[in-house]
Amino acid sequence: MPIRQLPDKVSSMIAAGEVIERPASVVKELVENALDAGASEISVEAHGGGVEQIRVADNGHGIPHDEVELAFQRFATSKLTDASDLDAIPTLGFRGEALPSIASVARVSVVTRHANEESGTRLDLDEGRVVDKQRQGASTGTVMTVRQLFRNVPARRKFLRAATTEASHIQNLVTRYALAYPEVRFALKSNGRSLQTPGSGSLREAVAAINGLNVAEAMLDIESADGELQAHSLCAVSGMVSQPNLNRANRGYMSFFVNRRWVQSRMLGYALERAYHGFLMERRYPMAVVNIVLDYDMVDVNVHPSKTEVRFRNGDRVFSAIQRAVRGTLAIHSPVPEIRRVGQSYPPASYPYPAEQSRSNRHFWPIEPFERAPDGIERRDDGVAPPDVSVNETDSALTPRQALPVLRVLGQVQSTYIVAEGPDGLYLIDQHAAHERVMYERIKADAAASEPQSQSLMEPLTVELDPKQQELAQTHMQL
């Protein structure tokens, strides 16, 4: 087969496959264009998960009449002039691929009016072809409407998720940028639900609108314990992080922005998790809104067409700056409690084994009370015992793997870990995890016996859910 130049329509559809992965990708590109245009109000509406229709309206400076059609040509942009501009990109968009990529896989209508013009312009496109262009009355700004997304790419449309899932991705994206730009008023209507931020410039108020007032009140402003950290660092770290007692079971509530651009980075996430080391249990994650500000030439955002991946020139210093700033904030607001020394010792607690257990499987050794607790360890009178469960006398003997040996309690560290001595050496027991395991085993046993215990509340309990949790609850309501 000879080498041929692909038609513009085919090449545009190929490019669209990289830029437009799902309806949320369309919203992302249009919202970023609105922010680059200086909008202070952005409205997003999505129907059918964004497949049927997406409408994004803003009050930015708009597009001049003679440039509207040019905006839908590939690599046409107002944000770059030559190759040197790629070394320091201050805008969210710059590639000139978003609008032509969207137009090539959908029907697009744009109504825009530039601030210096008396009337607006309406342009209609179908699969990248201009269908109509005319003058029209309009307010300053741009209204972009995208209909029948992927209408000419049935394979891509077939692999989209359910409308509720696609709507949740749109909601997730809008809330990210609402946190990055608290001075911009965002309004979202999708899947029969609405969300609006005040646009007051207060990050805490934006968090309250998105995650609820209780969460906003429990968030901490990032401030370093080292007052000169920001001045001597290559980057400045700002935003909000949650108190250790406000945590989640996944990383979905951690948002990172580089120069107010939402990015997805394992390195940034790991830096935040390391900052919380010792404050959170394993597999628990904080809520955070972290913005890293650094010189534009210190970060490369031209890594992928989606512009959600970045590369840092000094990644180690960025990692350290995040870790120190967040760790310093936690040290100020959530100091580690001191471990008091207690001179009095208490005898260890023990429990009887089942009668059938052979003596050869038991572990005994002389128990002598300590004269004093080791330095830095608080001694408590809490013994370590297994779950308070009954054992049928006919059950088989326990093996050493199943039975907790007799332990000598030495003390407790940070009100979290029980330090004990056993026949095999030193034991460190996470009392919170142990309690969770006990409750888990009880629930599992009740379920196996078809006797789950439940109790109705005397008074209704109001649970405050953020939009993401509301979507999940609505999806699984039948359960």
175 and 224 co-located in one domain: no
Cβ burial, residue 67 (10 Å; 0-12/13-18/19+): middle
Q: Considering the domain boundaries, does residue 59 fall inside one?
A: yes
Q: How is residue 366 written in tokens? A: 């002389």
Per-residue pLDDT of the chain (479 residues; tens, 9 = 90+): 788 877 877 776 766 666 788 999 999 999 999 999 999 999 999 999 999 999 999 999 999 999 999 999 887 787 666 676 677 777 887 766 789 889 999 999 999 999 999 999 999 999 889 999 999 999 999 999 999 999 888 888 888 888 988 999 999 999 999 999 999 999 999 988 899 999 999 999 999 999 999 999 999 999 754 444 454 456 899 999 999 999 998 999 999 999 999 998 999 999 999 999 988 888 899 999 999 999 988 888 877 767 778 889 888 999 999 999 999 999 888 665 544 544 444 454 444 444 444 444 444 444 444 445 455 555 454 444 444 444 444 444 433 445 677 888 898 888 888 998 888 889 888 888 888 888 888 888 887 877 667 778 888 888 777 767 777 777 777 65
Of 146, 179, 200, the one marking the end of a domain is 200
Residue 57 β-bridge partners: 43, 143
Torsion angle (degrees, nearest 10) of CA 431, 437, 439, 445: -150
Phi, psi angles (nearest 5°) of residue 180: -75, -30
471 occurs within a structural domain: no
Residues 327 and 400 in one domain: no
Same domain, 40 and 116: yes
Q: Is residue 5 part of a domain?
A: yes
**Predicted TM-score (pTM) of this structure:** 0.71
One domain for residues 130 and 264: no
CATH number of the domain bearing residue 380: 3.30.1540
CATH number at residue 297: 3.30.230.10
> Is the Cβ–Cβ distance between 289 and 203 less than 8 Å?
yes
Residue 238 shares a structural domain with residue 187: no
For residue 472, is it within any domain? Answer: no
Based on the domain organization, do 252 and 316 belong to the same domain?
yes
CATH code, domain carrying 14? 3.30.565.10
CA dihedral 85, 121, 144, 178 (to 10 degrees): 60
Distance in angstroms (rounded) separating the CA atoms of residues 298 and 471: 38
* Residue 228 belongs to a domain: yes
Residues 16 and 138 reside in one and the same domain: yes
In whole angstroms, what is the distance from residue 318 CA to residue 309 CA? 15
Range of the structural domain that residue 174 is part of: 1-200
Q: Examine the domain organization and report whether 73 and 178 are in the same domain.
A: yes
89 shares its domain with 229:
no
27 within some domain: yes
For residues 329 and 425, state if they share a domain.
no
Residues 161 and 22 occupy one common structural domain:
yes
Pairing state between β 219-221 and 254-258: unpaired
Residue 453 lies in a domain: no
Total tally of structural domains belonging to the chain = 3
Does 172 map to a domain?
yes
